[in-house]
Amino acid sequence: MRLARCGTAFLFCAMLAATSTAARADTTTTVSTVGGVTVIMSGVTLAPRPPHATRHEKRPRTRAVVNRSPSEGAFMPAALPGADRLLRTALSFIGRPYVWGGSSPSGFDCSGFTAYVYGRLGIAIPRTADVQFAAGRAVQGDPLPGDLVFFQTYDWGASHVGVYLGGGRFVNAIGADVHVTTFASEYFRSRYLGARRFLPDA
């Protein structure tokens, strides 16, 4: 593994295994590079703790339609304007703890993480997963790196979200911490709702 410079600090992108009561599938470890950052990832199936949703935001009703999940493979180049910076920012928080209701580097929940990462680029998006899903532009076909991918987990409609990296992988706050997850996980593949875009189109 190599060290990557992110701002003035060195970023050591090591994936921490989150504990889970879910059954774990046999997987292999993958080493990939995103925007010059080396990511070591295993495709362990995780059963997530329900992501946080604040009560003061109205929850739109979204249909629980499971879409075809993105195909797995090598990381794709970031084609959307600002995507490289977005991915580097998101990956810089790998290993930060999961905290229910958290929206800062001291602890994130899923939508707090995505809102914070986009905010670092000067892009304000809603706070909760369901409202992010309703507000973003619908993505036709496979998402591009930097898009947000949504899942129906513990609640009706979009209740979990992550930042898509490409190649069937996304970074999200779930379980114990922020880490990279793969669509090879049956749990997420079967609960995928679709992707939304907040970055400008290429």
Q: Which residues are catalytic?
A: 110, 160, 172
**Cα–Cα distance list, 28 to 43, 171, 181 (Å):** 7, 18, 13
Beta strands, E only, the chain = 4-6, 9-11, 29-34, 37-42, 103-104, 107-108, 137-138, 148-151, 160-166, 169-174, 177-182, 192-197
Tokens of 58: 């109205």
Tokens of 10: 């060195």
Q: Tokens 């993958």 label which residue?
A: 30
